[in-house]
Structure formats: structure tokens, C-alpha cells
Amino acid sequence: MAGTRQGLLVGALIFGLVAAGGTAAAQIPLPTPAPQPKERGAAPAAQPARPAQPAAASAQQQPGFNPLSGLKSLFNLDRESNFDAKQRSQVDRVSQYLSGVHQLSGTFVQVGPDGGRVRGNFYVQKPGRVRFEYEPPTPIDIVADGQSVVVRDRKLNTSDVYPLSQTPLRYLLADRIDLLRDTNVVGVHADDIFVTIVIEERQPLIGTSRLMLMVGAKDYQLKQWTITDPQGYDTTVAVSNLDSKSKPDPNMFMIVYERPGQ
């Protein structure tokens, strides 16, 4: 990947990877995500391409943050146990919401593992197409065309391509999704504000990652998601100003692939 990237949505949406550089956007209040236990050991020491501290340390600095609140109730740690009828109903409602949204646009704010914030606009057209445009000075666009995801750096004039099928984006962009059947749901939690679904994914060469989806407890609309990468670093994306009626321009999801020799 190109060298000097911000801790951007490429981390939150693709592999949970984090890169460096750039300037954070203005501070925007985020819904406090229900905390999740780290079944693995402590995150390793920071590598050159990673910020020095995980997101948990930054989150603890926020007023009212309690890292132990709801810890036991969030996860069903006995994975052989079945969820109760209420939990299954909640997961089914989230599946129905995700399956029923065919187009969506809005604004987002992203918090990286180092606490830095960036924001921008996003556009979704199912199946498989999405565009994230970051506000200046962040020079990044992320585009999925149904098969691939490309991360473009306008400043460096680089593009990195990933298979859509290997990213958590596929859960949000699938035409229809049954979370209990199609994913490994390991946690279901609800309070007066949010319904939270936690999905675990294990990949032999990459490790275990988690996707925590949060929807409104009353309207069941998507509010935010958090990716925990195999090293234990969290990246959270909160969305707002959602519009599910306006159809995005199809051209904004086009990826121009370079041919050999060009």
C-alpha cells in the first residue's frame, strides 16, 4: 500500500488496517459503542504503519466512557449456545433493514485507533457499490464497483485494489443478507438507544477480526460500526443525515483499471 495514509475508512471497511499521516477533521460527538472484550492478548507494540496506541486508550479519555459497562451482556461467549428468541428477533430485524436498503447516502465521521477524526460523504447503490469521499485536506476516495474496492490517494496519485468479497463491506452492500445464517454472529446486545450485533470472522492468513454493527433501538436504522482488526485495534465509523430515496449517479462507482504498459 502507499506509504503515508491517514487512519482512514480503508481501515474500517477493508481489513482494519491503519496507516499514518494527515489532519483530523473537527470534533463531532459519536454514539458511545458498547464495549467489547478482547479474547486475544494485548495488542502488540505499534509498528511503523500503525499509530502508537489502540483506540481503547483514546476512548477512555472521553467523558463518561466506562470500559467495563455492558461487557458481560454484550457477548455470548459460549458460542455453542443459541441466542434467545428476543435476540434472534433483533438480529432478524437488522437483517431485514440491511436487505431493505437498496440505495443510501449521507455523511460520516470516522475515529481511528489513535483517536484522530476525519469525515466526509458516502453513497451506496446495491448490490456491491459504494463511494466514500473524504473532506479536505484528506486526499482519499474509496470506491467499490460490485467486484473490487479501490482506495485512491489523489495527492500521491496511487490506487490500491482489494477484492470486495474479502472485506467487511460485503455485509453492508449485499442485496440480501441473513446475519444469523450468512455470518458468525457472536454477540447480540440491546438497550434503549442501540441494538448491537457483533460478527466474528476468522481468516487463516490474516487472523480474527470483528465487525460491530449498531442500529437505532427504535428505528433500526444504521448508526455506526466498529472494526476490530486481528491486532486488536478499533476503527469506528458513525453515519448521519441518511437519505434512502435519492438514487446516486452510477458513474461515481466506476473504477478505471490500468492496463499493463499504461
Q: Which of 26-30, 74-78, 255-259 has the highest mean pLDDT?
A: 255-259
Cell numbers at 139, concatenated: 486526499
Q: Provide the pLDDT confidence category of residue 258 given band limits of 50, 70 and 90.
A: low
pLDDT of residue 81: 53
H/E stretch holding 58 reads helix 55-59
> What is the mean predicted confidence (pLDDT) over 233-247?
94
Cell numbers at 101, concatenated: 436498503
SS3 state of residue 12: helix
CA neighbours closer than 13 Å in the CB half-sphere of residue 18: 28
Mean pLDDT of the chain: 74
Q: Is the pTM of this model over 0.75?
A: no
In this prediction, what percent of the chain has a pLDDT beyond 70? 67
Using one digit for the tens of pLDDT, what is the confidence trace for 77-122?
444 357 999 999 999 999 999 999 999 999 999 999 989 999 999 9
Using one digit for the tens of pLDDT, what is the confidence trace for 148-193?
999 999 889 888 998 888 787 787 889 999 999 999 999 999 999 9
Domains of the chain: 9-27+52-63+72-239 (2.50.20.10)
Report the distance separating Cα 229 and Cα 234, nearest Å: 7
